[in-house]
Amino acid sequence: MIRSEILREIAPILRDQLVVCNIGLPSQELHMIDDQPTNFYMLGTMGLSSSIGLGLALAQKKTVISIDGDGSVLTNLGTLPTIANNVADNYILLIIDNGSYGSTGDQPTYAGKKTSLTAVAKACGCENVIECKDVDTGKVLQQAIDSKKMTVIVSKCDSGNIKLPVITMDPVVIRDRFMKAVQA
Amino acid sequence: MSIHKKIVDDLVANNVSFVTTVPCKQLAGVIEEVEAHKDIYHIPSNKEDEGMGLCAGAFMGGKRPAIIMQNTAIGVTINTLATLTQYYRMPLPMIISYRGELREPVACQVEMAVHTKALLNQLNIPTYHFHKHEDADELDAILKYTFMCNKPVAILTDASFWGGYGDQ
């Protein structure tokens, strides 16, 4: 499966949760598949989906899912120790690991070579780290939500993209709509 | 009252309850007060752009955030300030130690000091410079201004403000 196929499959699970979605194609795909006020789309700032999600989870009680990519986690690798040492049991980091920088033309990442983000997350002190196959992402994600334990999921999938439009929604509208959904 | 405590008391009085920090010798006393205060969730970050991401999330979760960092961080965070904090119009008080100013013992610090105000100016970030202790009397008003206009605001605190570098 490629990332957009995973997103399509887990969309019914994401719909009821607060979602912080990574820059570029992941946000564009989620926006096209199932736009919800509970989705925060990143239009820039590669690497910070996990940090924004953790801050949000620590600030309020609802479940927060950060959708990140292997390339973006590598960009902000310092996020994993911060997550490990600031446990928020309403926080799930879902790393869709396709071993490539999808939004920029599928250049390979080190996560697709020798580096295991699962092992890195564990070494950083994250207590619940689950690596799964693309087809199992929905099941693992639902279990993580139900467990009410902070979880890092590394979903190993194929690289590949679909053609789709950019998000033209104004950032302040995205943010305002999202904050109202957080408070609802 | 110590200047460290005064700064943290002003943060708390303005309902700032989520503070991320990157270590700094000059701000060590403030960081200690932040860590000790029961009304503040203190979350050290490994890099300042990561910290700004945490603050963005906390703000959207209903908390008022702040970041404490060195001025060298302006070089690290320009993209984050422009495409996250400013683009989504979020408030962020930045309490910054202004290294490389008068009484600075480390020459390399001057290299970022000379760019600091120019970069903040280029980013249209409201910037305040604390040189003497009484300058901090404005902190309360600066925090109110920050959360009124939903912008990142820089508060530069130089070595003279902190009383030098011990033996300097």
- Find the CB nearest B60 among A45, A47, A179: A179
Select from A27, A52, A72, A124 the residue whose CB has the most chain B CBs within 10 Å, as the one to mutate to test that interface.
Answer: A52
Q: Is A180 on the interface with B (CB under 8 A)?
A: no
Residue B76 resides in a domain? yes
* Distance, CA of A138 to CA of A149 (rounded, Å): 17
Residue B41 pLDDT? 98
- CA nearest B54 in A: which residue? A55
* Distance, CA of A21 to CA of A184 (rounded, Å): 20
Per CB-CB distance under 8 Å, the chain B contacts of A83 are none
Domain of B89: which CATH number? Answer: 3.40.50.970
Residue A102 pLDDT? 86
Residue A104 pLDDT? 87
**pTM for this entry:** 0.97
Cα angle B2-B6-B12, degrees, rounded to a multiple of 5 = 145
Measured over all CA atoms, what is the biggest interatomic distance in chain A, rounded to whole angstroms? 44
**Residue A52 near residue A20 (C-beta atoms within 8 A):** yes
Residue A181 pLDDT? 98
Whether B50 sits inside 8 A of A56 (CB atoms) is no
In which domain, by residue range, is B53 found?
A: 3-162
Q: Is A12 on the interface with B (CB under 8 A)?
A: no
- Find the CB nearest B57 among A55, A76, A183: A55
pLDDT averages per 10-residue partition of chain A, 184 residues: 97 97 95 97 96 98 98 97 98 97 90 97 98 98 98 97 94 98 97
Q: What digits encode the pLDDT tens for the residues B10-66?
A: 999 999 999 999 999 899 999 999 999 999 999 999 999 999 999 999 999 999 999
Residue B97 resides in a domain? yes
* DSSP reduced 3-state for A133: strand
Closest by Cα among A183, A140, A167 to A18: A183
Residue B131 pLDDT? 96
Residue B1 pLDDT grade (very low, low, confident, very high; cuts 50, 70, 90): confident
Per CB-CB distance under 8 Å, the chain A contacts of B82 are 44
Residue B166 pLDDT? 65
**Residue B112 near residue B100 (C-beta atoms within 8 A):** yes
Domain of A37: which CATH number? Answer: 3.40.50.970
Residue B167 pLDDT? 56
Overall domain count for chain A: 1
Separation in Å, CA of B166 to nearest CA in chain A: 32
* Distance, CA of B58 to CA of B40 (rounded, Å): 12
Overall domain count for chain B: 1
Q: Is A48 on the interface with B (CB under 8 A)?
A: yes
Is the ipTM value over 0.95, yes or no? yes
In which domain, by residue range, is A93 found?
A: 3-183
Residue B128 resides in a domain? yes
**Residue A173 near residue A152 (C-beta atoms within 8 A):** no
Closest by Cα among B28, B90, B15 to B53: B90
Residue A30 pLDDT? 97
Question: Given strand B92-98, what is the order of strands in its sheet?
Answer: B41-44, B16-21, B64-70, B92-98, B152-158, B127-130
